[in-house]
Amino acid sequence: MIRGSVLPLLRESAAAAVLVLADGTVLRGQAFGATGTVIGEVVFNTGMTGYQEVMTDPSYSGQLVTFTYPELGNTGVNGVDQEADRPHVRGVIARQLAPAASNWRSEGDLQHWLDRHGVVGIAGVDTRALVRHLRDGGAVNGAISSDGTSPQDLLEQVRSAPSMTGLNLAAQVSTREPYTWIKPCPAAFDARLQTSPERPFHVVAIDFGIKRAILERLVAHGCTITVLPSDSTLEQVLSHRPEGVFLSNGPGDPAAVTEGIALAAGLLKQANLPVFGICLGHQILGLALGGASFKLGYGHRGLNHPCGTPGQVEITSQNHGFALDAGSLPGDRVEITHLNLNDRTVAALAMRQQPVFGVQYHPEASPGPHDADHHFGRFVALMAERR
């Protein structure tokens, strides 16, 4: 049984809020952020830092994110850490909201930032018990409400909401118009490798829900980027004369992104064109190769997932609810180069005869460890070899 009582160190003046899961679980707490009712898939993130990056990551579109770290908001919010122009989480579940923000980069507090962007939150729930519940039963739809809607009405709404399986959310978060990105992350905030080749590599990035940190790391490794919508055709991509194509991260079910899969299949016929996919882009590559994907019980969302091959391990940042079926991938064309060492799911793949590879995790590490940043260098090296 999950405790729904309000935990200490919350503002006594805060309005009441309720979290209702599709299995009938009801948790009560205190409201923060915007007032209202939101419905989405309830998931959890185990990272100890980076709450603003998580909330603005388009891959969390349609989800209510439970943070296992017990306090949110202690470092405030700022413009540099945002992965998009606005938050993409639908709701936030926390144990405790910090009473004050304190950080040299802080430009405001989390409470007012969420309110301004219309994100509904609930604090004061036993998030450890909730995570155990989700771990045992799997991610489920749920609702957060702070507007007085009854738990019974919320339960009816939750049970009629669509499952994440079959949803093409990438089409909802993708850019509508092409644009160019040439800015790396300011060196004051990221001391990692930055290169300035005499002639930067031109990359076309397909936006399925791309994070700014990925664009910044590609630029830092010597690329200029043309970002195109998720429904771009092969002809549109090739018209930009790319030296490489990047398939981005994004939300939802990869099997539902049919236009992206068709594009990837067309790109694979361009035998010498380097292609790199991250997260959803990695899954789309696998599907384009004839593989299949499946929904994980509760997903991988955190900053300390070990992935690797014998003798080499990378600690990685991850955020995904689906994975590729290893047995469905054609072994004569594809090598599984990395496994998630927690559950042995596919963490990375590469084509045997073509300059094409994908990783299930996030080498840009925003937030997270920098172990996997070398994959950007690997992509650039493939383009340099082709050039």
- Residue of 210, 290, 276, 292 lying closest to 249 (CA atoms): 210
Residues above pLDDT 90, as percent of the chain: 90
CATH topology of domain 16-160: Glucose Oxidase; domain 1 (3.50.30)
Catalytic residue among 41, 279, 300, 314: 279
* Predicted pLDDT of residue 6: 41
Q: In whole angstroms, what separates CA 48 from the centre of its chain?
A: 16
Give the DSSP H or E segment for 357.
Answer: strand 356-359
For the whole model, what pTM was predicted?
A: 0.94
The angle that helices 212-220 and 374-386 make with each other, rounded to 10 degrees, is: 50
CB 201 within 8 A of CB 244: yes
* Predicted pLDDT of residue 198: 87
Would you place residue 5 in the very low, low, confident or very high pLDDT band (cuts 50, 70, 90)?
A: very low
What CA–CA distance (Å, rounded) separates 382 from 387?
9
Domain range 170-386, CATH class: alpha beta
CB hemisphere CA count around 385 (13 angstroms): 11
What CA–CA distance (Å, rounded) separates 291 from 82?
33
Rg (the chain; Cα; Å): 21
Taking residue 327's Cβ as centre, other Cβ atoms within 10 Å add up to 9
Q: What is the pLDDT of residues 181-203, one digit of tens each?
A: 998 887 767 878 788 888 999 99
- Token pair listed for 266: 């067309």
Contacts of 349 (CB under 8 A, 6+ apart): 282, 285, 286, 324, 329, 334, 335, 336, 337, 357, 358
Catalytic status, residue 279: yes
Is the pLDDT score of 11 beyond 70? no
Residue 337 has phi, psi (to 5 degrees) of -90, -25
* Predicted pLDDT of residue 184: 87
Mean pLDDT of 212-220: 97
- Residue of 373, 368, 375, 299 lying closest to 54 (CA atoms): 368
CB 376 within 8 A of CB 359: no
* Predicted pLDDT of residue 187: 73
Catalytic residue among 53, 221, 364, 375: 364
Q: What is the pLDDT of residues 34-64, one digit of tens each?
A: 999 999 999 999 999 999 999 999 999 999 9
Q: What are the extents of the domains in the chain?
A: 16-160, 170-386
Give the DSSP H or E segment for 230.
Answer: none
Say if 16-160 and 170-386 have the same CATH topology.
no
Would you place residue 315 in the very low, low, confident or very high pLDDT band (cuts 50, 70, 90)?
A: very high
3-state secondary structure of 344: coil
Q: What is the pLDDT of residues 147-168, one digit of tens each?
A: 999 999 999 999 999 999 999 9
